[in-house]
Amino acid sequence: MDLSSINPILFFASLMVAATPILLAAIGELVVERAGVLNLGVEGMMITGAVTGFIVAVATGSPWLGFIGAAIGGAILSQIFGFLTQYLLSNQVATGLALTLFGLGLSALMGQGYIGIKAPSFPDIHVPVLGDIPVIGPIVFQHDPMVYIGLLIAIAVWFFLFRSRAGLVLRAVGENHDAAHALGYNVRRTRMLAIAFGGACAGLGGAYLSLVRVPQWTEGMTAGAGWIALAIVVFASWRPGRLVLGAYLFGGVTVLQLNLQAAGVAIPVEYLSMSPYLATIAVLVIMSAGRSPGSLGRIFHAAR
């Protein structure tokens, strides 16, 4: 057992990177669930974003355009879910699961010609001055731009939900869609927009895997990250601040688990692998008062 071989600076730096894709996907899903929609298709939207982002980045040579393409790809896919659940009033759980399966298949099909190709590189930015601060510099200020964009999106979501009128409407729709409807708010449009945002964020998260972290396209590359994102939303009790914390915790466990193994620590990896889920369950039990959005997962029809 030799913990000295784990460099804490590098550890926290890679923790931020490992957390970014699940952070992006989770913050999108948080908005969706705050609007009262349970979209279990995060995994499908992530993987679709991963492949569309990769295709666009390879075609244009620009990772930035790739990320934009990924956001659009994820948003388009999410609108299928939106149309089915909001207009055709299908069951959200079943439709979300179908979306995941569909996304996995669709992405495999789209990615056929892109296997084994390398993505254009996406350089880290070394923030001037701040990046040179010892310890904190390498941990916080020497990453690729998407790490910061993920955090900015989280802050923006917090501001939107709790400091803006539109965010209040969105939360109202999620808490009680009948009341929101009676007040004259357009429940369906609000939800469609939220679903699109969720899809775009999931797409960004997927593209972060295919363009930065791995970086290449392989089928099924998200490997369950979408499900972790869903767990984080619950873990965070639908609050953006706790969500960032949760994403770092979940990301941290993955990195820590590998670090401990490489350092020769004999903790069975299964314990570390299950720890984030145990934490989620613990949080659910502690907050058994259960503050999930009131209309979460319920079908809304204006005539009812």
Partner 1 sequence: MKRRTLLASTAAVIALGTGAFAAAHAEKTKVGFVYVGPVGDGGWTYEHDQGRLAVEAEFGDAVETVFVESVPEGPDAERVITQMALDGADLIFTTSFGFMDPTVNVAAKFPDVKFEHATGYKQADNVSVYSARFYEGRAIQGHIAGQITESNIIGYIASFPIPEVIRGINSAYLHAKEVNPDVEFKIVWAYTWFDPAKEAEAATVLIEQGADVVLQHTDSTAPQAAAQAAGNVYTFGQASDMAEYAPMPRVSSIIDDWAPYYIARTQAVMDGTWESTSTWDGIGPGMVGIGEITDAVPAEVKASAEAMRDAIADGSYHPFTGPINRQDGSVWLAEGEIADDGTLAGMNFYVEGIEGEIPQ
Contact set with partner 1 (CB under 8 A): 5-7, 10-11, 14, 18, 21, 108, 111-112, 115-116, 118, 209, 213-216, 218-223, 225, 254-255, 258-259, 261-264, 266, 268-269, 273
Smallest distance from the beta carbon of 269 to partner 1, in angstroms? 6
Q: Is 193 exposed, middle or buried (0-12, 13-18, 19+ CB in 10 A)?
A: middle
Q: Is 216 exposed, middle or buried (0-12, 13-18, 19+ CB in 10 A)?
A: middle
Nearer Cβ to partner 1 (168/262)? 262
Nearer Cβ to partner 1 (162/271)? 271
DSSP 17-61: HHHHHHHHHHHHHHHHHHTT---TTHHHHHHHHHHHHHHHHHHHS
Smallest distance from the beta carbon of 22 to partner 1, in angstroms? 10
Nearer Cβ to partner 1 (48/295)? 48
CA distances (Å), origin 40, targets 30, 93, 116, 184? 12, 6, 30, 28
Smallest distance from the beta carbon of 244 to partner 1, in angstroms? 20
Smallest distance from the beta carbon of 100 to partner 1, in angstroms? 14
Nearer Cβ to partner 1 (89/269)? 269
Helix, strand, coil tally for the chain in percent (to 5): 70, 0, 25
Smallest distance from the beta carbon of 211 to partner 1, in angstroms? 11
Nearer Cβ to partner 1 (145/297)? 145
Q: Residue for token digits 């004999």?
A: 266
Quote the tokens at residue 274: 């299950």
Smallest distance from the beta carbon of 225 to partner 1, in angstroms? 7
Nearer Cβ to partner 1 (112/164)? 112
SS3 category, 264: coil
